[in-house]
Amino acid sequence: MINQTQQTLYHLDNLNAEQKRISYQTSTGKKLENGSDDSVLYSREIFVDDKIKTFEGIQTQITRTNVHNDVSDSALTEVKRLMEQVKSELLKANTDTTTPEGKKSIAISISGVKQNILDLANSRVDGEYLFAGSDSSVKPFIEDANGNVTYNGDNQLRKIAVEEGSYRDKGVNGFDMMMYSSDVATKGDPNLSFKESDRIIDQDGSEWKLDATKTNIVKYDLDGNVTTTTLPVTNNAATPPVYTANVGTADGTKFEAKTNIFEALNSVINALNKVDTAGNPVSDAVADAALNTGINEINDSYDAINVAHAELGGRNKVFELSQEKVTAKLTQYNVLSIEIGAADLSKLAVESKALELTYTALYSTINKTNQLSLVNFLR
């Protein structure tokens, strides 16, 4: 009798545990309440959930990057439009019928365009400057009291994850969008000419700067740290000074002297106002020569912006395609997560009914057992 009671209680405990499992799975739609219920299935769930979180993070980054890319594209489109306006104004100015007053009026117009371009070059989204290079917290272009604009960013690009362990360059930097190559030198054509205000970049993206004595250019690494690598330069005694560096000793390396587009804008503004860089009056001949030089520089600037815009478009397309791929993978993993972890409600309904019948049978047995007595037995 005692043994039968123990067996009955044992079966009742098993039924209660089964009832708890079925109730949990029915109410939550999940197979597992605890990882120990099925360690193999739990490991698969953990793996898939980790993939989902990873791709959700990548998707968020790409979505945010695409917003930045759209703003960058709009900014460069507007810069190009403004530069086209400058070119149109300069065509008007470079005619014999344009009076000095007319040229000054054009100079005022181009000065306004310059400020608009400066604002676009300092475009910011979510507190991040779009054209600063690797450090988006740095305001890239700063104008001093004399109207000279300096680029404070670097020649690097931020890398954004587009896949697990795979990264792509984002956007363009100030060297790409607001500078043009005023001179290029290689081992075969080794002499590089540059002004003191120019920025020198080699094919690896490292920058070279004049030292304090202005007799050498010194290489800086990609983190902006000075190295011990130098190249001698000569001063050509021009006004303003023009330097020449022989890069033939830097075997296989391409050097570019980058001129700030704002410098070209300042040049044509000064030429239209018939003054030099210090604000001193110049003759008509000098002003006309400076204007012709400035027009060529503006054309070079416009071409550089076009190239930067094309590069930006190519990089933006990579992120658009990556977002489609990541979204597809995320959908697949979400479906897989449901398939792995979701309870079979049809099966649970059958199990619940079977459990109900088993409970009924067990309680009927318990009831009959409780009615047993010696008298009933003797009957």
**Separation between Cα atoms, residue 250 and residue 216, nearest integer Å:** 14
Homologous superfamily (CATH) of 30-179+260-342 is f41 fragment of flagellin, N-terminal domain (1.20.1330.10)
Q: String of b and e for 80-118 (b: at least 16 CB within 10 Å)?
A: eebbeebeebbeebbeeeeeeeebebbbebbeebbeebb
What was the pLDDT predicted at 306? 94
Task: Report the interhelical angle of 39-93 vs 100-121 (nearest 10°).
Answer: 170
**Separation between Cα atoms, residue 159 and residue 131, nearest integer Å:** 14
What was the pLDDT predicted at 33? 54
Cα-Cα end-to-end distance for the chain:
19
pLDDT in tens, 36-75: 566 677 777 788 888 889 999 999 999 999 999 999 999 9
Q: Which among 56, 35, 57, 55 is positioned nearest to 45, based on CA atoms?
A: 35
If you ran DSSP here, which 8-state letter would residue 123 be given?
Answer: -
| Residue 168 falls in which region: left (phi positive, over 0), alpha (psi -120 to 50) or beta | beta
Between 164-178, 192-206, 236-250, 336-350, the lowest mean confidence (pLDDT) is in: 336-350
What was the pLDDT predicted at 47? 85
What was the pLDDT predicted at 377? 47
Q: pLDDT band for 103, please (50, 70, 90 cuts).
A: very high
**Separation between Cα atoms, residue 52 and residue 331, nearest integer Å:** 9
**Separation between Cα atoms, residue 376 and residue 366, nearest integer Å:** 16
Between 81-95, 177-191, 255-269, 287-301, the lowest mean confidence (pLDDT) is in: 177-191
* Average pLDDT of the chain to the nearest whole number: 84
Neighbours of 328 (CB within 10 A): 11
For residue 176, pLDDT over 80 is answered with: yes
Q: Which among 121, 180, 114 is positioned nearest to 153, based on CA atoms?
A: 121
Provide the pairing of β-strand 207-210 with 216-220.
Answer: antiparallel
pLDDT in tens, 215-226: 999 998 887 889
If you ran DSSP here, which 8-state letter would residue 257 be given?
Answer: E
